[in-house]
């Protein structure tokens, strides 16, 4: 996962892009970057770690210009390699091109082979770099044709923003895997992965960029062109954005995430009802479905665990000693609330199962008598090739165990997962979602060689 | 406010003290320190800022020893002056004495004058240093007499831990302003301002240190002595710890803070009921009373604002530009939840009124039709001389405005504060609380010269 | 100016390369980098500032591999832009290529235009990047043909080392502008700009790489190939390396620099003799010629100014206040030595004249009665297009003033420059030197557009 | 060794004190501090490491005030303990007192015992803190009596500056172990350990503070008082300041250090003459005596080793790997100068012998045929209790070996030390020097317990 931002026209475009990163920080904690253009020069700022911690005012102030794009990066691949921080920025024929990309391409093997045979040199191990090489090898007549021709060669998931001199160009792949929202900011436009970024800077939500749409923005002027349409059944919105990844205050895929999650919780209550002393969520992400579950069954909702806001930076490189400690420091159960109680605990999803097992153990140690766990999505059984960084299948607990076995493993009195049908039932675009992680049925051909890091031959310690 | 910790016997006492600071970090974000004793040498680690961010593993590993005390500091007085970080550590007659103090003394003028006339040199501007000078000038016969004699000279609020060679000594002033809890950790004991610190390291809560009690611990041996008793009506537990300051998962003043806050919310619902589409709290501190309020009136509880966990370090020194932004970045209201709704918004307290005003403005801008605010304590009208860092009276909105005027200022459709009687009604020690900040009636003589920093004549840039 | 290093076969090639940078640090203080190859992966470390200060042991330890190249960078162009730190490292057809370059190419305009038209994207603003693009577009049959064909397209100055998998390849342009030395280190070979780098790691000087020579080294195997020969009169060794730039303990251009400088001083004494109380040099660079001058005339040599070794890092970004102070802090004249004396002051060269003027002022203020300045090279009148970073001609004092006017400006009683003929007279390759900075007669066509930074359209603040 | 500075009246006293530290940096590389007073507040800046590297402009700018004292600290005792950085600053009876001290007291045992019995608490492990405690316990009538009475209780070596509100007070012990110079700076006065500090800020040397003198300066007013006089034979100027420690451009003990060292070299030539191809010094400290030696015998002087100015910060914590490398990186011998030659190598002193052995080995490896070493002081056989940080006697090579054995150990063809008589012969105050390190005869009673760190019971990791 990653978050991307584009700002077409603001006297402090760089600062605005930085503020936007606050709203997208949850989409990528590994690194972040901003590129601005001031009509003459391009300015770049990149940092590993959290943008909100590691970007300093002085450096931000140097990001002069009225147009900007930004990126926040999630993937742990490439580690602290500063070369792999986006936006990618190159100068081609003395004109600057920058790109920030969310998603993963699926035909990279073929594209790399073709480009390298023709003499291209790749500076990063990010598939996103392919786009600038394709641009450099395509006659650049009119902008919309140039970018359309380039994008038409890509397969897979991409929500992407480009900065080409004064132009900010946004695009979303025809299947629409990743969200991309369009807003109005002062005299120009703003693009962002999620609409919550708009609220921070008082930008106005306009609409989502459509699947297959390319928006070309210069200052206050906006124009759209479209890649060849595919049928609506071909759409593949990532349902996991709704289940877990996106922020609850965002509006994506035509719906508000908080409302979707409450409806998932209510549907979960219908499928797996349980009378209990109260319902609690695993904070914060489980709280929304827990509220829906509690309201559906008219059960009390309680905050059974306190989230500690001081989890500290020391955890960046945890030792064994601290790793054990980390679960407890994040969430502390309240004995006086839990003691002797029968509780429903709602979680958004289970990936490896180890965290859930730890949480349940803590809740039981604090005195809970019966624990009934409810999950607001189906079991996750397959990896994602479109940008969600799930572990390998052998680490996915539901790939290897039945629901009953999982319940035994995490030691709950009962366990209920939401069904795929129930999940889609409460969505606005019932037929337009990719649910491959729950089914193993992928909406695109997937590459034979799935090693995402095929190009990466080195390890850069810089700077 | 500050948080203090003492560990009497653990092979990694320094690490344990550090882990304890995670649980007390909310009591002090300005600076922190740990002192350990290994039977021969004393080891000190101090840092400005958050302990959980700024203490590194390598430095913590150097804190050898089986006994430790620690401190986390809230007060903004003294700024980044590393001299004013506790624990204070001195060597007296070749024996190490360290002290960590939570609270404020009220007879410092007189004590400073007496000590300086006799040739004492003060290294810090913290009143806590007085204690070590008094110790240095008192015949040290038996430990319990030595410390009793010293503490008997103090007036005001103190929960305090000392490290004197192998001994960890904890004490609480006879009125009991600040909490201090006793726990069992492996083969020794642990002292901490709040019990939530015990959970993190799987220590067991034993009891609270009593007002006027001095506990002298060496390894696994514990012994108590008492300062002259005062009548139970003379007790002065800080009610604001329950209202706002302490963590909801702590057990202090004979009660669980989460349960107290829910009861405050329920009492508030009785005093100021309001039918509405739903009840929400200002996250996170307002959520507990909001739950109590909603349950009492059988109204839905919703999460109307999303708390952003990435508020960033840049805010430590905010510019005007970022200061405006800060309110929004912390809490973002959800339009789809609020639009067209009549809502009850519960907050724990109002100090200056500016933050509440900003929050209400955001909630209304997100579409709320009617906003009824409820506060789970009475109006704050007077400063605290016992350790809570309220602003001056001229900044306390309730000192200067009526409830009606406050409602107008923060622009709510109605405003209701909990009464003092209602607040005490739900407490376990109804008659034992200090409520001076709500009444101006102080349980001790207060100093004529209330300038807390009378000694501070310098500005230290170190290190 | 820059310094380059290549190490073909050492179990700690990265560490050895780092040690080598100690010996070449004077050739570049702006930034440095090391690239190693371990048979499978490539490792990169880059830092701005002094390598000897800013490279840390932990990062160096990660530079695994038995082959390495390194670079230290002088040019202030590109500022703190980490993109412009060498070695340049790219992956081409899954094989790593790295390059470190000393010198400047003179046909970059034409090469950029050709490559960009064919779709190349440039990541840096360094002309050195051209080499890897040319390699990527050339059929790579046998290594020596591949590199020969690529190098044959370049014009200008280059001493260069490449790392291509296990191979370390060194080359020097046919005119031989910049030095490049070959040494033996344990079981492999070492290449370095100057031989002083060998001494540090007890490597043995073998010989210099010849002008137009390409050495292809793998482990212990070494093979040479040659670019088309040019006549000996076409050689263009940089005389300024001997006059000022190279270290006195280096052996370059078939001679020892210390001995050359003493001979320059002796020749200077013949051309501009002066009886005086004593001879002193401006430390440290002027001392060698001063010794030669004093011995030639049998005058006492004294150390009239003390060099302060603590000039501090604060000067990296000097304010006006400190800038005035900097001259004095570096060199302090000794009153007791200078008072009432007639002195000959020897300096290696005068560029802008401001520093010399300041020094002379200090010497006179310390009591010198007569000051006779002697310069061990001719007046500098023209810029260098081959790698020495002289200021623009309008700042070169000798471009704008006669010797008499310069003497007046720096306020000396007499001023004598060494003649071009005298300078070449004491050299071992009398006819093989480029003296363009003293004559304006360049040994290659020079580009019409002399702006070295034509590609640089951006400003990167990273990291 | 340490360096101290006082500035009585300058609008930027803090900046001036910082500039002065450039001139005294060689007297202490471990840590440094500045204290200023602005008529109302006192400002303190302390840093470990080199002042010239680690003090930043922003922090220096905060040092407001017209009076300042500063200190640079040499001793490795106490390590990175920020508590032990001087100046010591305390507030007594609401008035600030700061002190910076060079030297070591010899009656500390007795003074500590007396003060602690009376209730004093010590914050540091520096003997200098005793002075402020003595001041705090003495009636402070007139300043000159107050300070006289305090200083009269001290024994041992001290050159010291105090800041007491507007007053800058300087004092030197009656035997005058350490230098202290008085200068005129603008409208006020300046005190500094060595006169070279004056040159940097264009202050004018006035005179040295006399042994036993106390100068009390306020703004432009200066007044002297004296401790009880002792006979001139009782003087104990540190001869090692002249031999090695002080800067050659300083004027101390009534003489210029450069001239003294040349005379030591000339005297050495008389005592141990040797015909050779040339004379060289071990740079930089051996060069001055080498010049004197060469001139006396009319031999050529050469620079046989090149000093590398880039020795790097990595060496602060050297590993074994780098420790071996360090000798070579600092000084590189020039083969072309040394090969086949008979050379006299002059060094100022030999302490452990390991460094000399290494240097000689390098010189011989570079081809020298015969090496005759000459040392410009007598053999060092005893420790110093007055501030020079020699190693323990068992590490002093001359304590354990004869001159012949030392020559064998460092592998020279001959070795000659200057005699004590010869050394004193060329001094201006022949009878006023302490030569205890060469004789073991101490000019004061020395403490039985010579452990300088008796108070140090802790290890502080701060900050």
3-state secondary structure A113-178: HHHHHCCCCECCCCCCHHHHHHHHCCCCCCHHHHHHHHHCCCCECCEEEEEECCEEEEEECCCCCC
Rounded to a whole number of angstroms, the distance from the CA of A122 to the nearest CA of chain C is 6
* D295: nearest CA partner in chain C: C300
Each residue's pLDDT tens digit, C65-104: 999 999 999 864 544 466 789 999 988 888 899 999 999 9
Return the pLDDT at D140. 65
- Quick check: is D175 in a domain? yes
Specify the number of domains making up chain D. Answer: 2
User: Taking residues D265-290, what's their average pLDDT?
Assistant: 97
CB C452 within 8 A of CB C77: yes
Which has the closest alpha carbon to A197: A70, A338, A369? A70
- Quick check: is A402 in a domain? yes
Which has the closest alpha carbon to B80: B124, B128, B30? B30
**Residue that is written with structure tokens 């080598």 in the block:** C20
CB C208 within 8 A of CB C235: no
Option in A288, A306, A308 nearest B303 (CB): A288
CA distance C18 to D431: 52
* Domain end residue (candidates: D199, D230, D261): D230
Task: Looking at the structure, tell me whether residues C154 and C46 fall in a common domain.
Answer: yes
* D59: nearest CA partner in chain C: C314
- Residue C12: Cβ within 10 Å count: 20
Query: DSSP string of B207-255?
Result: EEPPTTEEEEEETTEEEEEEPPP--GGG--EEHHIIIIIS-TT-EETTE
* D120: nearest CA partner in chain B: B120
Return the pLDDT at D57. 83
- Quick check: is A239 in a domain? no
With an 8 Å CB cutoff and a minimum of 3 pairs, decide whether chains D and A touch.
no
Rounded to a whole number of angstroms, the distance from the CA of D175 to the nearest CA of chain B is 30
Name the average pLDDT for chain A: 90
Kindly report which listed range (C131-145, C389-403, D235-249) carries the lowest average pLDDT score: C131-145
CB pairs under 8 A between A and C: 135
Is pTM beyond 0.95? Reply is no
Cα–Cα distance list, C268 to A99, C346, C423 (Å) = 60, 9, 9
Cα–Cα distance list, D205 to A446, C361, C366, D220 (Å) = 83, 19, 13, 15
Q: Under DSSP, is residue B93 helix (H, G, I), strand (E, B) or coil?
A: coil
* Domain end residue (candidates: A230, A265, A291): A230
User: Taking residues C446-454, what's their average pLDDT?
Assistant: 54
D121 contacts B119? CB cut-off 8 A: no
Option in D96, D458, D461 nearest B457 (CB): D96
Return the pLDDT at D318. 33
Return the pLDDT at B100. 97
Task: Looking at the structure, tell me whether residues A196 and A307 fall in a common domain.
Answer: no
Taking 70 as the pLDDT cut, the residues of chain B under it are 75-82, 140, 312-324, 448-463
Task: Looking at the structure, tell me whether residues C40 and C75 fall in a common domain.
Answer: yes
Return the pLDDT at D432. 93
Task: Looking at the structure, tell me whether residues C192 and C91 fall in a common domain.
Answer: yes
B45 contacts D459? CB cut-off 8 A: no
CB B401 within 8 A of CB B394: no
Kindly report which listed range (A335-349, B156-170, B370-384, D120-134) carries the lowest average pLDDT score: D120-134
Query: Sorting pLDDT into bands at 50, 70 and 90, what band is D448?
Result: low
Query: Sorting pLDDT into bands at 50, 70 and 90, what band is C133?
Result: very high
Query: DSSP string of A384-449?
Result: -SSS-----GGG-HHHHS-HHHHHHHHT-SEEEEPPHHHHHHTSSSTTSEE-HHHH---SS---SS
Contacts of A120 in chain C (CB under 8 A): 119-121, 136
> Which chains are adjacent to chain B, needing at least 3 Cβ pairs under 8 Å?
A, D
Contacts of B301 in chain A (CB under 8 A): 291, 301
Helices (H), D211-256: 239-240
Each residue's pLDDT tens digit, C281-317: 999 899 999 999 999 999 999 999 998 887 765 443 3
- Quick check: is B218 in a domain? yes
CA distance C24 to C2: 8
Contacts of B122 in chain D (CB under 8 A): 90-92
Rounded to a whole number of angstroms, the distance from the CA of B23 to the nearest CA of chain D is 22
Return the pLDDT at C140. 65
Which has the closest alpha carbon to C201: D304, D324, D361? D324
Q: Are strands C331-333 and C305-307 parallel, antiparallel or unpaired?
A: antiparallel
* D21: nearest CA partner in chain C: C310
User: Taking residues C410-415, what's their average pLDDT?
Assistant: 98
D319 contacts C57? CB cut-off 8 A: yes
Name the average pLDDT for chain D: 90
| CATH value at residue A68 | 3.60.20.10
C463 contacts A463? CB cut-off 8 A: yes
**Residue that is written with structure tokens 């003198």 in the block:** D213
- Quick check: is C67 in a domain? yes
Task: Give ∠ CA B17-B125-D136 in degrees, rounded to 5.
Answer: 120
Task: Looking at the structure, tell me whether residues D218 and D255 fall in a common domain.
Answer: no
The pLDDT > 70 percentage for chain A reads 91
Query: Sorting pLDDT into bands at 50, 70 and 90, what band is D133?
Result: very high
CA distance B280 to C138: 68
Q: Which of B18, B89, B94, B121 is best to mutate for the D interface (most D CBs within 10 A)?
A: B121
Radius of gyration of chain C from Cα atoms?
23
Q: What is the 3-state secondary structure (H, E, C) of chain A?
A: CEEEEEECCCCCHHHHHHHHHHHHHHHCCCEEEEEEECCCCEEEEEEECCHHHHCCHHHHHCCCCCEEEEEEECCCCCCCCHHHCCCEEEEECCEEEEEEEECCECCHHHHHHHHHHCCCCECCCCCCHHHHHHHHCCCCCCHHHHHHHHHCCCCECCEEEEEECCEEEEEECCCCCCCCEEEEECCEEEEECCCHHHHHCCCEEEEECCCCEEEEEECCEEEEEECCCCCHHHCCEEHHHHHHHCCCCCEECCEEHHHHHHHHHHHHHHHCCCCCCEEEECCCCCHHHHHHHHHHHCCCECCCEEECCCCCHHHHCCCHHHHHHHHHHHEEECHHHHCCCEEEEEECCCCCCHHHHHHHHHHHHCCCCEEEEEECCCCCCCCCCCCCCCCCHHHCHHHHCCHHHHHHHHCCCEEEECCHHHHHHCCCCCCCEECHHHHCCCCCCCCCCCCCCCCCCEEECCC
- pLDDT surpasses 70 at A387: yes
DSSP state of C244: I
Query: Sorting pLDDT into bands at 50, 70 and 90, what band is D124?
Result: confident
With an 8 Å CB cutoff and a minimum of 3 pairs, decide whether chains A and C touch.
yes
CA distance D185 to D249: 19
C463 contacts A46? CB cut-off 8 A: yes
Q: Are strands B237-238 and B433-434 parallel, antiparallel or unpaired?
A: parallel
- Quick check: is A452 in a domain? no
Task: Looking at the structure, tell me whether residues D336 and D212 fall in a common domain.
Answer: no
Task: Looking at the structure, tell me whether residues D88 and D211 fall in a common domain.
Answer: yes
User: Taking residues C24-32, what's their average pLDDT?
Assistant: 92
Q: Under DSSP, is residue C61 helix (H, G, I), strand (E, B) or coil?
A: helix
Task: Looking at the structure, tell me whether residues B87 and B186 fall in a common domain.
Answer: yes
Number of alpha carbons in the 13 Å side-chain half-sphere of residue C331: 21
B248 contacts A328? CB cut-off 8 A: no
Task: Looking at the structure, tell me whether residues A182 and A266 fall in a common domain.
Answer: no
Query: Sorting pLDDT into bands at 50, 70 and 90, what band is A316?
Result: very low
Buried b (16+ CB within 10 A) or exposed e, D228-246: eeeeeebbbbbbbbbbbbb
CB pairs under 8 A between A and B: 136
Query: Sorting pLDDT into bands at 50, 70 and 90, what band is A220?
Result: very high
CB B327 within 8 A of CB B358: yes
Task: Give ∠ CA B265-B266-B269 in degrees, rounded to 5.
Answer: 90
Option in D95, D118, D463 nearest B82 (CB): D463
Return the pLDDT at B319. 39
Strand runs labelled E in C348-392: 370-375
Task: Looking at the structure, tell me whether residues C312 and C411 fall in a common domain.
Answer: yes
Q: Among A124-138, C357-371, D77-91, name the most confident range.
A: C357-371
A116 contacts C132? CB cut-off 8 A: no
Name the phi and psi angles at D250, rounded to 5. Answer: -95, 155
Q: Under DSSP, is residue D56 helix (H, G, I), strand (E, B) or coil?
A: coil
Q: What is the ipTM of this complex?
A: 0.90
- Residue C328: Cβ within 10 Å count: 20
Task: Looking at the structure, tell me whether residues D426 and D296 fall in a common domain.
Answer: yes
For residue D47, list its beta bridge partners. D32
Name the phi and psi angles at B3, rounded to 5. Answer: -125, 145
Q: Long-range contacts: B221-226, Cβ < 8 Å, 24+?
A: B222/B8, B222/B189, B223/B144, B225/B144, B225/B148
Each residue's pLDDT tens digit, A241-298: 999 999 999 999 999 999 999 999 999 999 999 999 999 999 989 999 999 999 999 9
Q: Under DSSP, is residue C250 helix (H, G, I), strand (E, B) or coil?
A: coil
- Residue D61: Cβ within 10 Å count: 13
Return the pLDDT at C29. 87
Option in D44, D132, D460 nearest B458 (CB): D44
Contacts of C121 in chain A (CB under 8 A): 90-92, 120-121, 132-133, 136
- Residue D200: Cβ within 10 Å count: 20
- pLDDT surpasses 50 at D232: yes
Task: Looking at the structure, tell me whether residues D41 and D84 fall in a common domain.
Answer: yes
B53 contacts A321? CB cut-off 8 A: no
Return the pLDDT at B323. 54
Q: Which of B329, B330, B358 is best to mutate for the A interface (most A CBs within 10 A)?
A: B329
H/E stretch holding C11? none
User: Taking residues C441-455, what's their average pLDDT?
Assistant: 65
- pLDDT surpasses 90 at A323: no
B46 contacts D90? CB cut-off 8 A: no
Q: Under DSSP, is residue C234 helix (H, G, I), strand (E, B) or coil?
A: helix
- Quick check: is C453 in a domain? no
Which pair of structure tokens corresponds to residue A393?
A: 């299948």
Option in D50, D291, D310 nearest C25 (CB): D310
User: Taking residues D234-241, what's their average pLDDT?
Assistant: 95
Each residue's pLDDT tens digit, D6-40: 999 999 999 999 999 999 999 998 899 999 999 99
Contacts of C311 in chain D (CB under 8 A): 22, 52
CA distance A36 to A14: 6
Option in B52, B301, B333 nearest A311 (CB): B52
Rounded to a whole number of angstroms, the distance from the CA of B195 to the nearest CA of chain A is 11
With an 8 Å CB cutoff and a minimum of 3 pairs, decide whether chains B and C touch.
no
Q: Which of C18, C247, C249, C263 is best to mutate for the D interface (most D CBs within 10 A)?
A: C249
A463 contacts C48? CB cut-off 8 A: yes
Each residue's pLDDT tens digit, C341-357: 999 999 999 999 999 99
Which pair of structure tokens corresponds to residue A196?
A: 């919550």
A332 contacts B200? CB cut-off 8 A: yes
- Quick check: is D11 in a domain? yes
Which has the closest alpha carbon to B67: B19, B16, B21, B24? B16
Rounded to a whole number of angstroms, the distance from the CA of A295 to the nearest CA of chain B is 8
D136 contacts B91? CB cut-off 8 A: no
User: Taking residues D208-217, what's their average pLDDT?
Assistant: 98
Domain that holds residue B393: 255-439
> Which chains are adjacent to chain C, needing at least 3 Cβ pairs under 8 Å?
A, D
CA distance B153 to B134: 9
Rounded-to-10 torsion of CA D414, D419, D423, D425: -130
Question: Catalytic site residues of A?
Answer: 2
| CATH value at residue A362 | 3.40.50.2020
B307 contacts A284? CB cut-off 8 A: yes
A25 contacts B310? CB cut-off 8 A: yes
Each residue's pLDDT tens digit, A61-108: 899 999 999 999 986 454 456 678 999 998 888 889 999 999 999 999
* Domain end residue (candidates: C168, C195, C230): C230
């Amino acid at each position: 996962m990653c978050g991307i931002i584009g700002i077409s026209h603001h006297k402090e475009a760089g600062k605005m892009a930085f503020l936007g990163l606050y709203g997208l920080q949850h989409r990528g904690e590994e690194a972040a970057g901003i590129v601005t253009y001031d009509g003459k020069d391009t300015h770049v700022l990149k940092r590993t770690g959290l943008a909100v911690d590691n970007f300093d005012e002085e450096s931000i102030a140097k990001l002069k210009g009225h147009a900007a794009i930004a990126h926040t990066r999630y993937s742990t691949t490439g580690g602290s390699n500063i070369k792999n921080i986006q936006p990618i920025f190159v100068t081609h024929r003395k004109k600057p091109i920058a790109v920030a990309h969310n998603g993963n391409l699926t035909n990279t093997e073929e594209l790399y082979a073709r480009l390298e045979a023709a003499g291209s040199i790749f500076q990063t191990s990010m598939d996103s770099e392919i786009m600038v090489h394709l641009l450099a090898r395509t006659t650049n007549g009119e902008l919309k044709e140039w970018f359309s021709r380039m994008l038409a060669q890509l397969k897979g998931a991409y929500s992407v923003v480009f900065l080409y001199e004064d132009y900010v160009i946004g695009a979303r792949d025809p299947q629409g895997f990743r969200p991309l929202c369009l807003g109005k900011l002062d005299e120009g436009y703003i693009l962002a992965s999620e609409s919550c970024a708009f609220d921070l800077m008082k930008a106005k939500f306009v609409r989502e960029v459509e699947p297959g749409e390319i928006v070309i923005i210069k200052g206050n002027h906006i124009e759209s062109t479209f890649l060849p349409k595919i049928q609506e059944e071909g759409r593949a919105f990532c349902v996991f954005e709704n289940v877990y990844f996106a922020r609850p205050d965002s509006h994506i895929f035509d719906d508000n995430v908080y409302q979707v999650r409450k409806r998932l919780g209510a549907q979960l209550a219908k499928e797996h009802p349980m009378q209990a002393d109260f319902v609690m969520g695993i904070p914060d992400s489980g709280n929304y479905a827990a509220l829906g579950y509690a309201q559906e069954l008219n059960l009390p909702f309680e905050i059974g665990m306190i989230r500690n806001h001081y989890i500290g930076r020391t955890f960046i490189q945890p030792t064994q000693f601290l790793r054990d400690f980390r679960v407890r420091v994040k969430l502390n159960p309240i004995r006086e609330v839990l003691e002797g109680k029968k509780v429903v605990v709602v979680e958004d999803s289970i990936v490896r199962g180890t965290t859930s097992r730890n949480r349940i153990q803590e809740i039981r140690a604090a005195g809970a008598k019966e624990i009934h766990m409810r999950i607001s999505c189906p079991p996750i059984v397959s990896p994602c090739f479109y940008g969600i960084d799930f572990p390998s299948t052998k680490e996915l607990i539901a790939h290897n165990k039945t629901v009953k076995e999982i319940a035994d493993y995490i030691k709950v009195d009962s366990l209920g997962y939401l069904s795929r049908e129930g999940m889609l039932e409460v969505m606005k675009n019932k037929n337009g979602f990719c649910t491959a992680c729950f089914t193993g049925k992928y909406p695109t051909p997937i590459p034979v060689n799935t090693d995402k890091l095929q190009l990466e031959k080195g390890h850069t310690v810089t700077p």
